Amino acid sequence: MKTYLVTGGAGFIGANFVRFMLGKEDCKIVNVDALTYAGNLDNLTGLPQDRHIFVKADICDKNVIDELFQKYDFDRVIHFAAESHVDRSIEDPEVFVRTNVMGTMNLLNTAKKYWQDGDGYKKDKRYLQVSTDEVYGSLGETGYFTEKTPITPHSPYSASKAAADFLVLSYYDTFKMPVIVTRCSNNYGPYQFPEKLVPLMINNVLNLKPLPVYGDGKNVRDWLYVEDHVKAIDIAAENGRDGEVYNIGGHNEKYNIDIVKIIIETVAQMLPESDERKSKISNDLITYVADRKGHDLRYAIDPEKISSELGWKPETNFETGIKKTIKWYLENTEWIEKITSGEYQNYYSKMYANR
Ligand code: NAD
Ligand code: TDX
């Protein structure tokens, strides 16, 4: 039975990964998460207690991470923990460098210390860095990000993720450490914190609140259902080649404004006739607001490498994925009410105050 160190497993993608892995195979997961505003223990209910061990800790804490490596003979490190929201990185970049760069270095150093064996490494160990297509910067109207596209991040968030990627890859080049980097496009699905486009729009539609579209809404993102992402991570961690980067995406580019319109239409369709919000939901809720600073125009992934080399393919198309996502939010009103009470209101009013 493999033992995983998963970081950030109380966040959106990490929680989906933990759920998927524990359901798929007889593995043990030590889930380290600092429970920042984005981490939520409610994302981890119903998991097998004997195989899922939750540890509330900061990945920058050298003592705790060292103790965990000493206690558990980790076979895999899957590193999700990060400050992940571009808008927050524009407001307050420092914590992004601390968590995303320094936290990554701490994990790398500790894994290296415990995995080294003479001149090499213990058998079948692997560190996987969960990264993002945003490190490639922005595309024009055409073309795709490949693994060879130059790294040109534009936001403090993507710059911190790029720095972390370079560190990870340097541990392969310098120390021959068994590492892999995956770079995925925009995810959507259950358990996503409602500061990101899709859950924010679903929540606002359900509350008949304005839908803030940045700029002209013509920025393009490439959307992947979260379950397809976590499956790709699993495949890359098992069968990928050390020192390699794998892009993950499903060729599903959409203008932001089209995403918002699809959400409006689908939520309205999915509400029962008896729901009085149903007749009030329309495109009139759309409100164009000031653009994001340094807003990348277009992201689009070329997933040819992971597809031809590792046989990964996305399984959920956008039409199905967005319905599943909306259904989840409709069925988990307590989850979203809890998350959007208190501090979230301050965040929301501050973030949209000047737009
Ligand atoms: P998220 O913000 O939902 O979750 C991040 C988790 O990390 C939270 O549970 C938080 O508590 C935890 N965390 C933050 N700082 C920590 C620290 N110092 N120590 C320990 N835990 C800490 O993020 P997400 O959307 O699930 O993204 C997960 C990873 O995937 C990130 O590395 C992100 O860069 C990457 N990624 C995200 C997307 C996307 O569309 N969301 C796409 C590609 C890549
Ligand atoms: O209220 C909004 N209005 C709006 O128009 C929000 C929150 C976003 N947007 C736009 C900005 C982007 O063009 O929608 C697009 C998507 O925005 P986000 O959901 O904030 O995602 P993005 O900035 O593209 O980054 C996401 O994908 C890559 C994740 O947050 C990152 O963690 C991941 O690395």
For the chain, domain boundaries: 3-192+223-251+297-315
Structure token digits, residue 131: 């990264």
DSSP tag of 23: H
Q: What is the pLDDT of residues 227-256, one digit of tens each?
A: 999 999 999 999 999 999 999 999 999 999
Cα distances from 115 to residues 175, 350, 352, in angstroms, run 12, 45, 46
Burial of 319 (0-12, 13-18, 19+ CB in 10 A): exposed
Span 154-178, average pLDDT = 98
Q: Is 162 in the pocket of ligand 1 (CB under 6 A)?
A: no
The pLDDT of residue 197 is above 90: yes
Residue 353's pLDDT band, with cuts at 50, 70 and 90, is: confident
Structure token digits, residue 167: 């560190």
pLDDT at residue number 137: 98
pLDDT at residue number 138: 98
Catalytic residues: 133-134, 157
79 CA → ligand 1 middle, Å = 9
Residue 25's pLDDT band, with cuts at 50, 70 and 90, is: confident
- Tell me the helices (H) and strands (E) count for the chain, helix number first: 13, 14
55/31 Cα distance (integer angstroms): 6
pLDDT at residue number 167: 98
Q: What is the DSSP track for 160-211?
A: HHHHHHHHHHHHHHHH---EEEEEE-EEESTT--TTSHHHHHHHHHHTT--E
Q: Is 132 in the pocket of ligand 1 (CB under 6 A)?
A: yes
Indicate the average pLDDT of the chain: 97
Q: Give the homologous superfamily in CATH for domain 3-192+223-251+297-315.
A: NAD(P)-binding Rossmann-like Domain (3.40.50.720)
Cα distances from 93 to residues 11, 36, 137, 353, in angstroms, run 20, 16, 17, 20
pLDDT at residue number 350: 87
Q: What is the pLDDT of residues 55-70, one digit of tens each?
A: 999 999 999 999 999 9
Q: What is the pLDDT of residues 75-84, one digit of tens each?
A: 999 999 999 9
Q: What is the pLDDT of residues 301-352, one digit of tens each?
A: 999 999 999 999 999 999 999 999 999 999 999 999 999 998 899 898 888 8
Return the residue whose CA atom lies nearest to atom 17 of ligand 1.
58
322 CA → ligand 1 middle, Å = 21
The pLDDT of residue 181 is above 80: yes
pLDDT at residue number 355: 75
Q: Is 81 in the pocket of ligand 1 (CB under 6 A)?
A: yes
Q: Is 31 in the pocket of ligand 1 (CB under 6 A)?
A: no
pLDDT at residue number 351: 87
186 CA → ligand 2 middle, Å = 8
Return the residue whose CA atom lies nearest to atom 35 of ligand 1.
131
Radius of gyration (Cα) for the chain, nearest Å? Answer: 20
Span 2-11, average pLDDT = 98
300 CA → ligand 2 middle, Å = 14
Please list every protein residue whose CB sits less than 6 Å from any atom of ligand 2. Answer: 84-86, 132, 134, 186, 196-197, 200, 212-214, 219, 221, 256, 292
Span 34-39, average pLDDT = 97
Return the residue whose CA atom lies nearest to atom 28 of ligand 2.
186
Q: What share of the chain is helix, strand, coil (3-state, %, to 5)?
A: 45, 20, 35
Q: Residue 141 is inside which H or E element, if any?
A: none
The pLDDT of residue 161 is above 90: yes
